[in-house]
Each structure stands twice: as C-alpha cells, then as structure tokens.
Amino acid sequence: DRLLVETDAPFLAPVPHRGRRNAPAFVAATAARLAELRGTTVDHIAEITSANAKRLFKIGRREPGAVLLVRTEGPAPVSRLP
C-alpha cells in the first residue's frame, strides 16, 4: 500500500535507456521491470501505484481554496481550482 514508481531524473536512466538523460516517460520501463520482479502485470502495477499516488498526494479530493501548481518551463503558473 506504499508502492510508488518514479524516475531518478535526470540521472541513472533505467535499462534500456541507460547512458541517456533520464526522462519521466521512462518510468514505464521501471514499472515493467517491477512487474517482472513481482510476478505480476504492468497493468496491476499501474493500478496499485496510481491508487497509492492518489492517496499520498490527495488527488481527486479537493479542499476549499485548494491551489493546483503546474510546472511547465520557467516559473510555475498557479491556478485556483473551481
């Protein structure tokens, strides 16, 4: 119930991307290896880690006056949630 999958960007990209600059998209390779090690499917790992992330970061449970921060490039814009 505490399993998450992340990249260690920008360094130490997972195999098969080793030697390249790491990127968030490479998390799929990490999830695939985790599924292999645990003897389950990538879909199952995705379900578990998505539910854990939602619970940890309180995604989908908005509190009055909550602020959503979205970083693109440069300073992060701030948007108020409806």
| Angle, CA of 73, 75 and 78, to the nearest 5° | 105
User: Which pLDDT score is estimated for 73?
Assistant: 56
Per-residue pLDDT averaged across 69-73, rounded? Answer: 56
How many whole angstroms separate alpha carbon 67 and alpha carbon 5? Answer: 25
Per-residue pLDDT reduced to its tens digit, 11-42: 788 888 888 888 888 889 889 999 999 999 99
What is the CA angle 12-14-76, rounded to 5? 65
Mean pLDDT value across residues 57-61: 82
**Strand partners for 79:** 68
Comparing 61 with 33, the larger pLDDT belongs to 33
| Entry pTM | 0.65
